[in-house]
Structure 1
Amino acid sequence: MSGYDYSVAILGSGIAGSTLANILARHGHSVVLVDSGTHPRFALGESTIGETTYLLKLLAERFDVPELGHVSSFAGVRSHVTSACGVKRNFGFVYQRDGLVQDPEEVTQCSVSEFPNGPEMHMHRQDIDSYLFYTAVRYGAEPRQRTKVERVDFTADAATLTTSTGETIRVRYVVDASGRNSVLASAFGLREEPCRFRTSSRTLFTHMVGVLPFDDVTTPSGQPTRWHQGTLHHIFDGGWLWVIPFDNHRHATNPLCSVGLNLDTKRFPRQPGRSAEQEWADFLDRFPSVARQFAEARPAWDWVATGRTQYSSTHTVGDRWAMMSHAAGAIDALFSRGMANTMQVIYAFVPTLMTALADDDFSAERFRHIDTLNQTVLAVNDKLVHGSYVSFRDFDLWRAWSKVWFMSWNLGIARIVGTHFSYLETGDHKLFDQLLDSPFPGTFCPDLPEFQPLFESLSAVMVDVEEGRLSPAAAVDRLAHLLGGAPFLPAPLQLGDVLRRWHDGSFEAQRRMYEWGRTSAPPSMRRWYAYDLDNLLARTGGAPEPVSL
């Protein structure tokens, strides 16, 4: 490596940068991991979904980095990392109306299956990120904490970083995982103004102590699992509130709860001179049932108030550089897709980067598929979240639109879980590349051509509602027609029944999806159901009893 200090510089040592550093260093590549801050530190993006955890499992298996497997399950985190994380058995959505006590009939919930490695979790990110950072260092990554990069210069044969102390670091390739304040986005003027996404929201957030379980302050709704055992969303016309407890199981050691209020900037623009604490107090005054949950709560950190959450970039790769997903852009924390998107990009990026390191070709064209993936992931998430904000104006419309989320979640995870299970069954490493072989990368159903216009049509319904061309009631009917009339969608999901309140994510529901995939799914999707579920159950001791927490 004559003439270079390192092969790869990774800017940002959060979960994206440290995951990537673990993989590269584990395979013998020289890596410098540069960050203006230190660990441990506060970080958001705490609620996992199946795509997050199963992509971590695949990354661990594909690149022989067991530490990524350790952070892919609630049990693994407790055994290897920290006792500070919460459990996640459901996605809960509770509809709130201004000035009214919450109606227990106006709720929806999606249970989360525990088979075979569940439940999902609420990551205490300062512990998870620190663990991955230090394991990357153990594998050989060179840490540079409290190091600010002032400039990055590119030539035909190298990239040179200049730090605030005047030090220069010469590398073969630069990966920007530094998030919103991306070094490369600033250097190349990549941010789009205005941001192109339809979603336009802002956030107030902190960690709190003393947050009461919502189950203890409200009338029971008959939902499958307790609200406190999952990620709770209080939704209302114009926004939503996340409640992510870390103290929601009997082995909990962390008294904190993550809290974040997300507001449509068109409906609730930020008022100059009004503090985040005042906005929070005003919000509680509007919704008495939410106020009851927070009657004893106190912030453990100062409230943070953001400007518009969304940002976008004109392009995300270049000669000798690439941006990971949160440096490329962002939408909104709704549906907890941030970490899943990050791992999806890393999974596609690493094989290309390793090949480039082997043959010394770091051209932008070689990494063009990463730009396509980054931009597509952001675009489809924007449509899903924008439709949700529109749907929050009417509970029935929300119930209908939530089936679009439920569909996207199930179709998106099937191919990742199927790859994982098939690999466990066969040990065939070629399966890892199969996951990248699809005509529509970055979409919620990358294998299915007919899904793409359906998703566009569903999104267009919500644009029509927003722009006054369609009433919420008419939109519910339209969504029911589109979802119920698509023969290629999974029958077990019952998507045409748009007013159903409970979304079944149980093991039994997953088995029905598996049988559909084996017998009735479109041919392009059946490869994801090629594993033998009964054999898998026998090897793992059968479908587990619910974990006592």
Structure 2
Amino acid sequence: MQQFDVVILGAGFGGSLTALLLDRIGLSVAVIDRGTHPRFSIGESSTPAAGYLLQSLSQKYDLPQFQPFCKYGSWQQTYPDIACGVKRGFSYFAHQPGQPFQIDTAHSSELLVTANLSETLADTHWYRADVDEFFAQEVKKSNVVSLDQTQVELQRSDGWEISGSRDGEEVFLRATFLIDASGAAGLVPRALGIRPQTEFATRSRAIYGHFRDVKLWDEVLEQSQVDRSDYPFACDLAALHHVLQEGWMWQLRFNNGITSAGFVLDERQTALDWRQMLARYPAIQAQFAEAAVVAPEAGLVTTGRLQRGWTECAGPDWALLPHTAGFIDPLHSTGIAQTLCGIERLVSVLEQHWKKDSRREQLADYSESLQRERALIDRLVACCYRSRFDFNLFTASTLFYFAAATSFEYQRSQEQRQPLLLCADDSEFTQTVGQWLELVSQLEQQFPVPQDEISQAVKQAEQMLAPWNRVGLFQPEVPNMYYYTAAPELEPR
């Protein structure tokens, strides 16, 4: 039986990166995965914060092979064969069922928020099949023991005993510490009987897949003679959102011809399927007229409720990575950044407190940090769902996210702090988001709402966000067109 300091369950990019970082600080590490790479995976939209965090980790722990992934230009120069997409920012388009997409001079059905100044400096969409395989291959080049296609059972006994089988042979490992990077499988909390969290403000489910031959939204707009001269970037080079009566749709384009797309539907309101949703929105249906599903092999994925979580996320000899600890919704592209933020904190705890009595307390703080981040993301997302019935109100709700994101970036770069993701440790901000959620929930219940009341609410949102509004939110020169909102270029310490 092999003995390791740390065993990690799951070899996605999060588990693989954690293994490499722990190897760098001198711990003996093994990674176990029930599958193999390459494989289909959803969760592909990066952000400025994610790029900064990956750059910081790769510099601090001397893993330069990961730095090119932080920007589209360096990625293309260094790894042109690893598929990805350009992400200049976020674009949103509001639709009405059964009607063509409509605009006006005030851009009251359009919102574009720029996150970077050029395509070279752009963030990226990660084609996870390629990216996760690259991270896993880097693990195999290192001192880390890597076991794929391995089913395991867990037993806690003065540490952990991990038993299973691989290629017909029995596998036995012992670990002082166990990290669960298995995502929704939640192997460790299930083995420990941890109670799941069930109370969330957000209620959504998804239908998604990877497609070929999805028509550019820009082409649909061109054919409809929509003036796009005010747009700060080509709207498809973004995390593109169609905002719908029933929920919303994401579209992320990769440079290998594949588009990640999915409907995320408000569980409180609808049970429609993919075809029914397309039939209700003619402009989106035009995008998918010639599209074909290419992954997963079994066809489109239809989920139950997306929201999940555990009431404990770490203990004296175990910890969950963020995506295992819980998930809310893909609306604000928080997944990659949240994973990297959690990895940064967890590796720091193990590096500084590995053989100290303080490790238990530090891991309790780590568990609390994941729950605070999850709670804030839940509120930020729920605000947008509750305000979908009016795009001006929805836009105001999205600006709470952008205020949180840019404040996080500023604190990391300018104030030399390491806040929780989206400033989830700022109690004043989290309370403010909670107050906004209460307000938009009340307005949703009153639907239809007079426009003067909507306008008053938007003004109130601007006042509420003033302490965190560092980039001119609510007051763009062109309505709903934000030409640059990111913090100054982040420099890792």
Return 5+ residue gaps in structure 2 as ranges. none
Distance 1:530 1:49 in 2: 16
State the match for 2:160 in structure 1. Answer: 159
Assess if the C-alpha contact under 8 Å between 2:409 and 2:487 holds in 1. no
State the match for 2:74 in structure 1. Answer: 76
Distance 1:384 1:453 in 2: 11
Distance 1:334 1:291 in 2: 21
**Deviations along 1:424-474, whole A, 9 cap, x unmatched?**
xxxxxxxxxx533x5xx445364x554343222222222323444994743
2:269 is equivalent to residue 257 of structure 1: no
State the match for 2:187 in structure 1. Answer: 183
Task: Show the 5 A alignment for 1:86-485.
Answer: 86-105=85-104, 106-114=109-117, 118-150=121-153, 152-155=154-157, 157-164=158-165, 166-192=170-196, 195-218=198-221, 219-221=226-228, 222-247=230-255, 254-269=256-271, 279-301=273-295, 302-357=299-354, 359=355, 361=357, 364-418=360-414, 435-436=417-418, 441-444=420-423, 446=425, 450-468=428-446, 471=449, 473=451, 474-484=453-463
How many residue pairs were aligned? Answer: 476
> Alpha carbons of 1:486 and 1:339: their partners in 2 closer, same or farther (altered >3 Å)?
closer
Q: Which amino acid aligns with 1:211?
A: V
Q: Which amino acid aligns with 1:90?
A: G
**Which one is further off, 456-465 or 109-118?**
109-118
State the match for 1:488 in structure 2. Answer: 467
SS in 2 for 1:333: coil
**Deviations along 1:27-80, whole A, 9 cap, x unmatched?**
332111000000111111111101111000111112111123132222332233
Distance 1:104 1:94 in 2: 9
- TM-superposed CA distance for 1:487, in Å, is 4.9
**Which one is further off, 362-371 or 200-209?**
362-371
Assess if the C-alpha contact under 8 Å between 1:54 and 1:416 holds in 2. no
Distance 1:191 1:496 in 2: 45
Of 11, 18, 23, the residue aligned with 1:25 is: 23
SS in 1 for 2:31: strand
Distance 1:291 1:145 in 2: 40
Assess if the C-alpha contact under 8 Å between 1:33 and 1:141 holds in 2. yes
TM-score (normalised: structure 2): 0.89
| Higher RCO (Cα < 8 Å, 6 or more apart) | 2
Distance 1:418 1:125 in 2: 32
Q: Which amino acid aligns with 2:40?
A: F
How much identity, in percent, do the aligned residues show? Answer: 26
- TM-superposed CA distance for 1:18, in Å, is 0.8
Assess if the C-alpha contact under 8 Å between 2:387 and 2:441 holds in 1. no
Distance 1:387 1:199 in 2: 9
Return 5+ residue gaps in structure 1 as ranges. 248-253, 271-278, 420-433, 515-527, 532-549
- TM-superposed CA distance for 1:6, in Å, is 1.1
Assess if the C-alpha contact under 8 Å between 2:432 and 2:464 holds in 1. no
What is the RMSD of the two structures over their aligned residues, measured on CA atoms?
2.7
